[in-house]
Every structure is written in structure tokens, then in C-alpha cells.
Amino acid sequence: MSDKPVRVRIAPSPTGDPHVGTAYVGLINYAFARQNGGQFILRIEDTDQERSTRASEQAIFDALRWVGLSWDEGPDVGGPLGPYRQSERTEIYRKHVRDLIDLGFAYPCFCTPEELNAIRLRQRDLKQNTGYDGTCRHIPKDEAIRRMDAGETCVIRLKVPEGKTVVHDRLRGDVEIENSQVDDQILLKSDGFPTYHLANVVDDHLMGITHVIRAEEWISSTPKHLMLYEAFGWEPPTFVHLPLLRNHDKSKISKRKNPVSLLYFKQIGILPEAMLNFLAMLGHSMPDEREKFTLTEFVNEFSFDRISLGGPVFDLEKLIWLNGVHIREMDDDELARRIVGLMFTPEAMKPLIPLIKERIRTLGDYPEHVSYFNAPQIDVPLIDIWKAGKGMTTAQIAKMLKETVEFLDGIREFDARWLEEGLRTFCEQKEYQVKTLFMMLRLCITGRKATPPLFDVFVVLGKAAVGQRIRAAADAIAAWKPPAA
């Protein structure tokens, strides 16, 4: 494949805020493509119709452009091999699935949810690995196709062959997996939409992707993809599985322990060039070990041989330190422009003005009243949170706050009215005092007892910042010792 023009892609799902992991993987793909004079493609994997939204898709575009990445082909810029949204390619997937059925590499499965559950229970009782047992494999092909064409509800499964599959990974060498560990995966769901595995392989082939550079969590899925390449008779791409971003405790980075939304980092004033610089340091080292460098310098020096598989730690303090280095080396006029652009443009000020208009007497009062909106961290008055608990232990308060943020994570529409109604219902279910929780939340996210309407503040701050502040307060109060009575 070395003689083919390099074509790489990222394929995020538009189901929430754009993730730092998307920018991290995107940066590596971008650097490899630019270094080799190749093409970098953005594809949107929106086959999860219940969770995918165009607003999230637009946020991905905006966040990746903010951080400094551009793509050669994609839903918003077009290209010769589109469409670049999977939801617009369903007929392509159905045709390819029918080809697999006709060739004998896939089959319709008519098992109901109840039958599938019975299979799992039986396997569990027998202490077997759980997974589909191939019941519908044994239906004669002609009969299965007749039932499928007659409209009987079914999914389409890949007929996994016996033997073993070897994944050739650019960073890890050969990874061998027994096919007996892979069940007959679903390729096409009963609603006619593909699963990730089918869409991924078909799109990568038809879009001419030469190198699949993605996170290591997809290694276990790669045998399924290689089986599909073999069934179709296609040459697979080169696979490169990058180490996952980690928390300090080596667990996979998640919003439960770190902010992960690119929008959050933009909101608190992280410079896009500092963010890219930081991401480029995660798992990759420069030949001279320097820590501050530009995107162009990274592209020029990038090498898969310089990637460490040790699991790069996403250190928020290191990011803020590096951001400070970039700020101190910035021209004064440019820094002033950046600060104004973040905090004092009409677009930035418009949602804040209604919240503080009745609270200020001079224009000079404005900064003090809005200071907590863009702060990366706030001073949480733990003693006030404890006092608001009225007899609760710090452990009980921490538990309540963590349960609250888990509830907030599940809210799709961050609307003030729905937030208030939802949290009041949450309090009834958990038997928490509404007034107590609302005061604690006010203190957690603003550090103040008196603020504009709480849920209007929630909306302006955004889900990522609200969640991060409540989690930080919960951790802090759990480790805090209240004063002796």
C-alpha cells in the first residue's frame, strides 16, 4: 500500500460535546496526512438516530476548526467520494450486505429479543461465554432470503469463520485473536441502519482510506473488520491503534474525572495553539524533547516511531501551565485581542447581560459580576456548602452532589425550565431538600451565595463546565474535615 496516496480519516459521532479524544486522534491523522502530502477526511458516524443531532455535528466542525485542524473532504466541504454522513449512505450499506448474503458470508437472523435473552441466560448457567450462538445460521439460505424479502423482522449477521485472525498493527506488531472469541456480529440492524462495524469497513474502502489511525479501544473490533475485508475481497488498510488518553490513575479519560469537552477548554480561555501543542505531547516526543512547538513543527517531526504506548496522562495542570507559556510569549496586542475576543465581544457578552444588568451600577462592575463564567477553577467555599447541608456529613454531601451530576449528564436539553423541573423531581425521588441542594449547587458552580437565577447560570456556563465544577466540589468536600463544634 506504500505506493498509494495517503488518505486518512476521523469519524466522530455527533452525540454530545466534541471530545478532546477526537482532537487528539484527529491531530495524529492530520499530521501524518500533511507530512505525506495526503488527504485528511472528516466523516460523521450518525447511524445512532436517537442520539445524533445536527447541533452536535456543527459543534464538532466548530471545535476542530477552533483548535486548528482543517480537512480536505467532509459533510460541510464536500468531496468526490461523499456523502460523508453515514445516515445518507444507507442504500450503499444495504447493497453491500445483500452481496454478503448472496455470497454466503452473512445471513438473516430472526431471533426475537426474548429468544436472545434466553440464549444468554442458558450460556450463563452453563458458564459459557455469552454471545449469539448461531441459531439462524442453520436456516437454509433460500428460506432465509425468502423470509427476509417477505418483510419478516430480522437483523443481518456476519458468518464468522473458524480459525484465528491476525491484526497487523503499525505500533504493536501482530495481535492474534481466536475467531471463537468473536460471535456472529450484527451488520445491519432491523431498522435498516448499519452497525459501526459494517459502515466503518464499507466507508473506509469506498473512500480509499489507506491508514486507519484510531484509539486502541478498537483493537478488539479489528478482527471483525478484517473478516469483512476478506469476505468482500478487499485489501485492508494499515491499522494504527493509538494509546488511550488516561487520568492520573491510568483509567480511561472520562468526564467523571476530567473535563473532556473541547468547548469547555475554549470557554475557560485555553488557546487553540496551546491545546494542539499539549495534545501533540501526549504519547509523542519531539527529537530534541522540547515541549513548546507549533503545529507546523509537529507535522515536520511527526513519526509513529516516536509514539509511546505507555498511556499518556491528560494532566489538566500541565495544559494550563503550557497555556501560560504561550500567553507569556505572545505579543501584547495579540493577547489583548484574544482576551477581548473571548470575553468582551457582543456575542460573548449577550447571554450574560440579562443576568447581571439589574445588579450593576457602573460599567466597571461588570467584570466582578461575571468573573466566574470563564474561570477554569473557582474557590469553592466548602464550609458554606457544609453549612447548607444542615447536619449532613461531608460523605453524604459528596454522594448527593455526585448523584446530581450523574443526573445532569443524562439531560440532553440544557434548558433552564427543564433543568429546574428535572432537579425538583430528582429531589423528590431521592428525598433531598430542594432548597438545600439548590444552594449547594449555586455554591459549587459560582462560589457565591447570591447570583443571578441558578438555572440561567447553568445554561450560560454549559453542561461541561457545570459538571466539572460540581464533580470538583464533591471530591473536595469528601476530603475536607469540617471544624470541630
Active-site residues, by number, are: 255
**Nearest alpha carbon to residue 279 among 319, 220, 232:** 319
Could you tell me the CA-to-CA distances from 79 to 72, 249, 295 in Å, in that order? 8, 42, 25
Pick from 31, 7, 13, 1: nearest CA to 242:
31
Cα(473)–Cα(304) distance, integer angstroms: 40
Most distant CA pair in the chain: distance in Å?
Answer: 81
Q: Which of 343, 337, 334, 400 is nearest to 374 (CA)?
A: 343
**What does the radius of gyration of the chain's CA atoms come to, in whole angstroms?**
26
Distance CA 273, CA 326 (A): 8
Cα of 268 vs its chain's centroid, Å: 19
Q: Among candidates 73, 5, 67, 59, which has minimal Cα distance to 280?
A: 67
Long-range contacts of 32-37 (CB under 8 A, 24+ apart): 32/6, 32/8, 32/211, 32/213, 32/302, 32/304, 33/6, 33/7, 33/8, 33/72, 34/299, 35/299, 35/300, 35/302, 36/6, 37/5, 37/6
Angstrom distances, CA of residue 269 to CA of 56, 255, 259, 320, 370: 21, 19, 14, 10, 14
Phi and psi torsions of 161, nearest 5°: -75, 165
User: Is residue 59 within 8 Å of residue 308, measured between CB atoms?
Assistant: no
Q: Are 108 and 136 in contact (CB under 8 A)?
A: yes
How big is the chain, counted in residues? Answer: 485
Q: Which of 247, 376, 388, 386 is nearest to 321 (CA)?
A: 376
- Residue 418, C-alpha cell as written in the block: 427543564
CA nearest 135: which of 165, 166, 114, 163? Answer: 114
Contact present, 238 and 36 (Cβ < 8 Å): no
Chain Cα centroid distance, residue 163: 34
Question: Which residues contact residue 274 at a Cβ distance below 8 angstroms, ignoring those fewer than 6 apart?
Answer: 319, 322, 323, 325, 326
Distance CA 156, CA 154 (A): 7
